[in-house]
Amino acid sequence: MDTFLGRYKNLIVLAAILFAQIIGLAVQVRRPAQAGETRLIRLWAVSAVSPVEKMVVHAQKSVYDAWANYVYLRGARRENRELRAEIERMKIDDARLSEDARMARRVQTLLAFKEQYVESTIAAQVIGTSGSEQSRVLYIDKGSKDGLKPDMAVITPTGIVGKIMQVFPGSAQVLPINDQFSGVGVALKETRLQGILKGAQNGATTLQYIMSDEKVEPGEEVITSGGDRIFPKGLPVGRVVSVEPGKDLFLNIRVVPAARLDQVEEVLVVTRIIDKEPDTKDLTPIRAADILAERLPTVPTKPGTDAAGNPKPSNVNSAGAATSAGGTAAGAGGHPPATGSASANKPPAGATTTPGAKPASAATSPRSAPGTATAGGNGTSKPATAAGAKSLSTAATGATTSPKPKAATLPPSGAASGNDQAPPTGDVSTTTTKKAQPASEQTPNTNPDQPAKPPTTEPPQ
Amino acid sequence: MPYRGSLTSREQVAVYDFSWPAIIFIPLVAVLIQIFIPVRVRYFPIIDLPLLVTIFFATARRNPVTGCITGCIIGLMQDLFSGPNHPLGMYGIALTIIGYLASSLGLKIDVENPGSRFLIAYIFFVLHQGIYYGVAHGLLRQTQVWSWSHVAISALANAVIGLLVFALLDRFKQR
C-alpha cells in the first residue's frame, strides 16, 4: 500500500485536487448565487484588492492630470476657440429644438404618455476587469457605501455600458453589454422594431429576435427600449453595422456599441429612475402659428429722423409697433421665414416684444407669396405710428384672448399687396378689430412645420 | 541542489527554489496586473500572465505536487475576479492540470533555453484553452466558441511575452 501511494503520489494529489474542484463546481451549479447575492470568498477577494486598484488608478490619474493640465497644454487655445464656436452653434440648435420639445411634451400629455427620467447618477471610475477573454466584467470604485445596488444601469454620455451585477462595500462589478451573459432590451430608432441585444464570447454584440421579413438597414441607430426595466428608454446603445439572414426566422444583426466598452474609464451609475408624465405646467396653450411666428426673424429698427433729417434715438414703442404690424401680417400669411436682407439683421430688444415680428421688408423677399405684403409693402421699412401700433396690438390681443398678439388672428396683409403703400395704421387697426376671429374658433395646428391657415376674411381694399 | 533523472544532461535539470515572498507575491502581482491592465490596454486580455507564471514555477521547481498546487491556487485567484456566471474552479482545474504537466515535463526535457520555453508556452496555452473549453462546455454546459485562428494567434503572443516574463522571473531563482 505504501509502495502504491509512494509510486502514484503525484497522480493521486492531482486527482484529489481536481476532484475537490469539480465537487465545488457542482455545488455552485446546484446552488447558484441569487441575484444580488455574493459569495463570501469573492467578497473578501474583491475587498482586499479594490483598495490597491483604487490607489493605483488615482495615482495614475493624478500624474496624468498634472501632465495634461499644467504641462501639456499645446493646442488648448485653438481647442477653446473651436469649442466656443460649437457652443454658439449648439445654442442656435437648442433654441430650435426647445420648441419641438415643448410641442412633443404637449402631445405626450394629450396621449397620457409616461416617460422615464434619469433622476440621479453617481460617477464612478473603472478600476479593474476580469482580466480574461472569457468574462468581460468590469470593476468600479463605488459600492454599497455609495448607494449602489444590483441591476442599476451603468452608462456613459455616449451610450450604455452595462448593469451592476454584484456590489461590494467599496466597489461593484459591472456586466457590460458585450459579455456573453448579457442581454438588453433595445429598439431600432427609425423602424421602432424591438429586440434583445446580446453579447458574445468574442465581445461582439448582436441584435436578436428581429424577424427576417423586417427591413433593417446598416447604420441605423439602436436605443434602449426600456422593456428590461433597467435602462431608461431612449438611451443610445449603438449602431447597426451588418444585417444577414440568421437561423430560423430571425435576422442576424451585428451592432457596434456606442460606448467604447474596451476603453471605458469613467462611467455613470443610474441610481434612480422615475416614471412621470411630462411636465407641461409651465407651458401655456400656444398655437402653431405662434410657434411659427417665433421662429421668424425680426427686423432691426431704424433710427427715425427729425424734421432736419438728423437721426434720432429709436422709439421703442414705435419700433416694436412697426415690427408688430409687419410681423403679424406676415404671420397671418403663414409663410416661411423671409430670406430677405432684413432677416439677417437682429432688431434691438425693444423691437422683439412681439414674437411674431417679421421684417417690414419681407415683401421684398422672393419667397413672399402674393398677399403677404406688410406695412412697409413698398420694400421700405415704414414705421407705423405709435397710436396705430397700439391699436393693432390691442385689436390682436382682444381677438385672440391671449396676452401675446396672435398672428393668425390678423387679416392677411394682402391688403397692401395691390397697393405698394402701406395702409394707414388706423385702418389696419379698425379692420383687424372687425375681421379678426377669436382664437377659440380656430383649430389649433400643433405642427409648427405646417404653415398656419390664413383667416378667410377679406382684406380691406 | 538536487538533481533528478531526465532525458537531457544532469546540468540541465537543476531544481530551483524560490523565496517565500517571491512565491506569494509573484502570482499575486500577476493576477493584479491581469485584472488591471485591460482597463488601459485594449488587447491585453489575450495575454494570460497567471498561466505563464504557473508554467514558470512548475518547470523551475520540477515537482508535480507543488506544480499542481501552485496552479490550483493561481487559478482559483483568477476565478475570484471573473464574472458571476463564472463558477470558482474553472481556471483552477485548468491551471492545476497545466501545473502538473509542466512540472512533469520539466523533469524530462530542458526548459531553460528560449526555444523550448517558446514551445512550452505555446503548447500549454493551447492546452489551457482546450481544458477551459472542456470544463465550460462539458461540465457546465456553457455556450463556448472555439476558434483555432484566435487560439493560435493568442498562443503566439503568449509565447513571445512568455520569453520576456521567464527571463524576468529567472532573477528570483535560488539554487
Q: Which residues of B touch A180 (CB under 8 A)?
A: 143
Nearest CA-CA partner of A174 in A186, A156, A161: A161
The interface predicted TM-score (ipTM) is 0.83
CA separation for the pair A459, B4 (Å, rounded): 114
Tens digit of pLDDT for each residue in A343-390? 334 344 333 333 333 333 333 333 333 333 333 334 334 443 333 334
**SS3 string of A34-69?**
CCCCCCHHHHHHHHHHHHHHHHHHHHHHHHHHHHHH
Residue A455, pLDDT > 70, answer: no
Q: According to the model, what pLDDT value does residue A38 have? A: 65
Chain A contact for B24, CB < 8 A?
Answer: no
Domain annotation for chain A: domains and CATH numbers: 114-276 (2.40.10.340), 288-441 (no CATH)
User: Do the chains contact at A18 and B83, CB–CB below 8 Å?
Assistant: no
Q: How far is A205 from chain B (nearest CA, A)?
A: 14
User: Do the chains contact at B93 and A22, CB–CB below 8 Å?
Assistant: yes
DSSP letters for B40-68: T-TTGGG--HHHHHHHHHHHHH--HHHHH
- When comparing pLDDT for B137 and A409, which is higher? B137
Q: According to the model, what pLDDT value does residue A294 have? A: 62
Q: According to the model, what pLDDT value does residue B151 have? A: 93
Q: Which residues of A touch B85 (CB under 8 A)?
A: 135, 181
Q: According to the model, what pLDDT value does residue A439 have? A: 40
Backbone angles phi, psi at A282, to 5 degrees: -80, 0
User: Do the chains contact at B145 and A135, CB–CB below 8 Å?
Assistant: no
Backbone angles phi, psi at A54, to 5 degrees: -60, -45
Q: According to the model, what pLDDT value does residue B126 have? A: 95
User: Do the chains contact at A127 and B39, CB–CB below 8 Å?
Assistant: yes
Measured between CA atoms, the residue of chain B closest to residue A126 is: B39
Chain A contact for B46, CB < 8 A?
Answer: yes
CA separation for the pair B166, B175 (Å, rounded): 16
Tens digit of pLDDT for each residue in A119-143? 788 889 898 888 888 888 899 989 9
Tens digit of pLDDT for each residue in A263-311? 788 899 988 877 766 665 655 666 666 656 666 666 555 555 555 555 5
Measured between CA atoms, the residue of chain B closest to residue A14 is: B68
Q: According to the model, what pLDDT value does residue B74 have? A: 94
Chain B contact for A123, CB < 8 A?
Answer: no
Residue A457, pLDDT > 70, answer: no
Tens digit of pLDDT for each residue in B139-164? 888 888 888 999 999 999 999 999 99
CA separation for the pair A51, A57 (Å, rounded): 10
Burial (CB < 10 A; 0-12, 13-18, 19+), residue A350, is middle
User: Do the chains contact at A139 and B72, CB–CB below 8 Å?
Assistant: no
Mean pLDDT for A436-451 is 42
Measured between CA atoms, the residue of chain A closest to residue B98 is: A14
Is the Cβ–Cβ distance between A150 and A37 less than 8 Å?
Answer: no
Chain B contact for A276, CB < 8 A?
Answer: no
Mean pLDDT for A308-316 is 50
Mean pLDDT for B82-110 is 87
User: Do the chains contact at A202 and B87, CB–CB below 8 Å?
Assistant: no
Measured between CA atoms, the residue of chain A closest to residue B132 is: A134
Nearest CA-CA partner of B145 in A312, A140, A202: A202
Mean pLDDT for A159-167 is 91
Mean pLDDT for A197-222 is 88
Q: How far is A156 from chain B (nearest CA, A)?
A: 15
Of the candidate ranges A425-439, B45-59, B119-133, the one whose mean pLDDT is the lowest: A425-439
Give me the residues of A, 198-237, that contact B with CB < 8 A. 200-202
Count of A-B CB contacts under 8 Å: 139
Question: What pTM was estimated for this model as a whole?
Answer: 0.60
Tens digit of pLDDT for each residue in A54-70? 888 888 888 888 887 87
Most B CBs within 10 Å: which of A126, A130, A173, A247, as the mutation test of the B interface?
A130
